[in-house]
Amino acid sequence: MPTKPKKPCGYPGCPKLTHARYCEEHTRVMNTRYNKYERPYDSSERYGAAWRRIRNKYIKAHPLCEECEKNGRLTPSKEVHHILPLEKGGTHDETNLMALCKSCHSRITAEMGDRWHNK
């Protein structure tokens, strides 16, 4: 099956073509900018080594995307989602976590307005 054609990078003035929103170089730039200026907290403090251990343990215990499983699909989980976000009082407790594939995590995050919110 053919893939979609590449489109220009969304970074102003960048001539590179990509399948994503930004080319590889500008994805890093935009993520850094988002983490530094737009997040209401320092992500390096909130998601440090302790979180990585919790995340890895949870992914090992839940290897399939919990959202896809509800819909009868078997997709490997790649990310761990906080059901109640930390900034709204959520914790790293297992009852507040959900193993998701990248697609489901991006969709849920966008629906919650966590990152791709309208300003």
Q: What is the DSSP string of 50-85?
A: HHHHHHHHHHHH--B-HHHHHTT---B--EEEESS-
User: Per the domain annotation, does 1 fall within a domain?
Assistant: no
User: Per the domain annotation, does 57 fall within a domain?
Assistant: yes
Q: What is the pLDDT of residue 116?
A: 46
* Per-residue pLDDT tens digits of the chain, which is 119 residues long: 678 899 999 999 999 999 999 999 999 898 888 777 766 555 556 677 888 899 999 999 999 999 999 999 999 999 999 999 887 888 889 999 999 999 999 899 888 875 544 43
Q: Which domain holds residue 24?
A: 10-39
Please indicate, yes or no, whether the overall pTM of this predicted structure exceeds 0.85.
Answer: no
Q: What is the pLDDT of residue 14?
A: 94
Return the structure tokens found at 74.
């078997």
Asked if 62 and 27 sit in the same domain, the reply is no
User: What is the rounded CA–CA span in Å between residue 51 and residue 101?
Assistant: 18
Contacts of residue 3, defined as CB under 8 A and 6 or more positions apart, other chains included, come to: 19
Q: What is the pLDDT of residue 114?
A: 56
Asked if 26 and 74 sit in the same domain, the reply is no
User: Per the domain annotation, does 26 fall within a domain?
Assistant: yes
Closest to 58 (Cα-Cα) out of 50, 46, 70, 69:
50
Neighbours of 68 (CB within 10 A): 18
In this structure, the dihedral spanned by the alpha carbons of residues 78, 44, 94 and 65, taken in order and rounded to 10 degrees, is -10
Asked if 69 and 119 sit in the same domain, the reply is yes
User: What is the rounded CA–CA span in Å between residue 48 and residue 84?
Assistant: 19
Dihedral sign (CA 50, 53, 57, 63)? positive
